[in-house]
A = this chain, B = another copy of it.
Amino acid sequence: MTRPGRLTRRRLAASALLAPGAAAAERLEVPPGMREQGAPLDATSYGLPAPTEQGVRRRSRPGREYQPILGTAGSIVTPLGDLDGIVTPNGLHFIRCHAGIPAIAPEQHRLLVHGLVERPLVFSMDQLRRFPTVSRLHFLECSGNSPLYRTARIRPDWTAQDTHGLLSCAEWTGLRLADLLAEVGVRPEARWMLAEGADAAGMTRSIPVAKALDDAMLCWAQNGEALRPEQGYPLRLFLPGYEGNTNVKWLRRLKLAAEPFMTREETSRYTGLLPDGTARQFNFTMHVKSVITRPSGGQSMGAPGFREISGIAWSGFGAIRRVEVSVDGGATWRDAALQDPVLPKCLTRFRLPWQWDGQPALLASRATDETGAVQPSREALLAEVGEWFTYHYNAILAWKVTENGTVQLAV
């Protein structure tokens, strides 16, 4: 595969010293940790990050801290500006809940599959876990990620966590939904499938049977271990590339039917209001998108000199083919290097070497996916769907490097 913009040794040499501040020295102080035995291994607890990393946490987005009307509904977002690579640790995976997190004992949990099927069946977790399994690395993005449609609400101090943190990526393991549906026998007239969660919201969405028979999974594991409670433990639907809420958590019921069910979450919510007053419904697949995470909002540049520009790109339609980066607000673009592996419907890490001269700059990224779709400008997106569309915001985003080296959201 072509890797435009790959960092070569020659390119690096041309960019002079990478760490201009490194001190010439032959001696190091012996640190306190070498003078006495360290902490013993803890064989009973689940491991946690270093105490000095406590700032790297999920949190509410600005203005969403208190939602009395919604009760236990809400979301907390992944600290993308602090993360490297493409895997999100489970303890930092974003959460979006409609009625809080139910506590479910796996041995009590059941999945009913019924409706337009030959053999309606109820499955226990033990029965589901005997199916052939599959593991895949996929991103998951809330359809409401990037609340940037309404210009008046945008604040320059927003970070990548605020603008893009309803996005995470993990290795998901479970069974192919197609295998389960083969067991119950889908009738030819079935075109839609209701998925219902066992939370107090009774979260329900209608999914096309074509997607269910394609790459849909019923998952019990993320990043190797059991699903976290807030991710649907012990079972969730996983629809690669589809908007987050359709990946129904605490999955208890699948019902096959000829028509969509027009549930609350696909009528009053998760539809896109267009300028002409009509709504775009069943807008499932997340569009091609990218964001620079280093440097990004809230970070400081430090001394002028070499800085790698690094970020993530993704598309619900397949693999990322190209990411371009601009340091002048879109006047000129350069191809970034894509970090292997580049996987379909998965985050792809991109990087571009940059000599920062200490002057103000406007950093932006523009992704292209394997279907040829290119991330639109903000102007083009707003011209198409208007500022009340709410969901699926995927426009090019810019971070402003200011004179004093701080980084701010410039949209």
Q: Mark A37-80, 1 if CB is under 8 A from B, else 0.
A: 11111111111111111001111100000000001101110000
Binds B, one of A28-36, A278-286, A387-395: A28-36
Q: 19 A-B contacts, Cβ less than 8 Å apart?
A: A19-B130, A19-B183, A22-B121, A24-B121, A24-B122, A25-B112, A25-B120, A39-B102, A41-B97, A43-B57, A43-B58, A47-B228, A48-B228, A50-B228, A53-B225, A83-B224, A85-B171, A85-B224, A89-B225
Instruction: Find chain B residues with CB under 8 A from A373 CB.
Output: none
**A164 → chain B closest CB, angstroms:** 14
Decide: B114 and A12 in contact? CB cutoff 8 A.
no
Query: A19 near B200 (CB under 8 angstroms)?
Result: no
Chain A, interface size category, equals 35 or more
Looking across the interface, which residue of chain B has its beta carbon closest to that of A200?
Answer: B37
Chain B hits for A228, CB < 8 A? 47-50
> Footprint of B on A, CB under 8 Å?
7, 9, 12-13, 17-19, 21-29, 31, 33-53, 56-60, 71-72, 74-76, 82-93, 95, 97, 99-106, 108-110, 112, 114, 119-124, 126-128, 130-137, 170-173, 179, 182-183, 198-200, 202, 220-221, 223-230, 233-234, 250, 252-253, 302, 305-308, 310, 339-341, 343, 349, 351, 353
**Nearest CB of chain B from residue A28's CB, rounded to whole Å:** 5
A89 & B224 in contact (Cβ 8 Å cutoff): yes
> Of the candidates B76, B99, B135, which one forms a contact with A38 in the assembled complex, judged by CB atoms under 8 Å apart?
B99
Partner of A72 from the list B40, B72, B75 (CB cut-off 8 Å) is B40
Further 19 A-B residue pairs, CB within 8 A, beyond A82-B225, A89-B90: A18-B130, A18-B179, A19-B183, A22-B127, A24-B120, A31-B102, A33-B104, A34-B200, A37-B99, A39-B72, A39-B103, A42-B76, A43-B58, A47-B91, A49-B90, A85-B135, A85-B223, A130-B307, A135-B339
Closest to A170 in B: B87
Could you tell me if A43 and B60 are in contact, using CB atoms closer than 8 angstroms?
A: yes
Q: Are B57 and A351 in contact (CB under 8 A)?
A: no
A360 vs chain B, min Cβ distance (A): 19
Tell me the bound Cα distance from A147 to B282 in angstroms: 55
Smallest Cβ distance from A248 to chain B, in angstroms?
Answer: 13
Do A224 and B171 form a contact, CB below 8 Å, given A24-B119, A38-B101, A230-B41? no
B50 adjacent to A48 (CB under 8 Å): no
Task: Name which residue of chain B comes closest to A305, CB basis.
Answer: B130
